[in-house]
Amino acid sequence: MNPDNSVGERIGLIVDEAMRIALASARMVAIYLAVMVAASVAVDATASSGGADFGITILSIAMGYFLTITMVGAVAPDPEGPDGGFGTYFGLSLLSGFAILAGLVLLVVPGVLLLIRLAPLYGFGLVNNDGVSAAFSESWAATKGHMAPIAVTLIIPTLMFVGSLGMYFYLSDGEGVISIPVSLVANTAMFSGTVLSTAIGLAIYSLLSGPGDRLEEIFA
């Protein structure tokens, strides 16, 4: 993505590519949302904790992997599948999540910076098969000069995630129990935000370091 393009032009490119990726992965998106929302609401409805919450975490990781791999296929179709596997996905998720969370908790600004600079991380790790550490370096280097458009495109999924957490925090009772309607809205917002952020991240990768022929067409 050319830094000489205006911020508005680059935002438009990212949004268009993210929509293309999401629509190409529509079936998996629907499955992901249905499974994750239904499972999370079921746990909330039974006021389960401990083992049930751990189960949701494991399910979220597994479904997130299938969602991401499906979207990766829309970015770089490969009959043999993407080069990077579950281990790479898990490593990227764990390390990036920890780094962003730590940055947000400690000083906020570093967390936001990491969220922006690591947006295309899965593309470098799963499409390029660069490895976990190399993917971090590639993502950081590739997003240089593009922070503003990336930040703008991530506003909506970030607000959806924060809003869902806010509903759990402010609308639960004294024992942390949340009503089913609120749980449905909160979980739909949370997992829809995940879908959007994943599509946006891979769109950024596609525009910055995707298949050459496609980039030449976009920026011709």
- From its phi and psi, is residue 108 left (phi > 0), alpha (psi between -120 and 50) or beta? left
First to last CA, the chain: 11
Choice among 16-25, 131-140, 206-215 with the minimum mean pLDDT: 206-215
- How buried is residue 178: exposed, middle or buried, by Cβ count under 10 Å (0-12/13-18/19+)? buried
Average model confidence (pLDDT) for the chain? 82
Express each pLDDT in 76-109 by its tens digit: 766 444 555 777 777 777 877 767 777 666 666 7
CA distance 33 to 187: 9
Question: Which of residues 42 and 128 earns the better pLDDT score?
Answer: 42
Residue 161, pLDDT > 80, answer yes
Domains in the chain: boundaries:
7-218
Question: What mean pLDDT do residues 139-145 have?
Answer: 90
In the three-class reduction of DSSP (H, G, I as helix; E, B as strand; rest coil), residue 107 is classed as coil
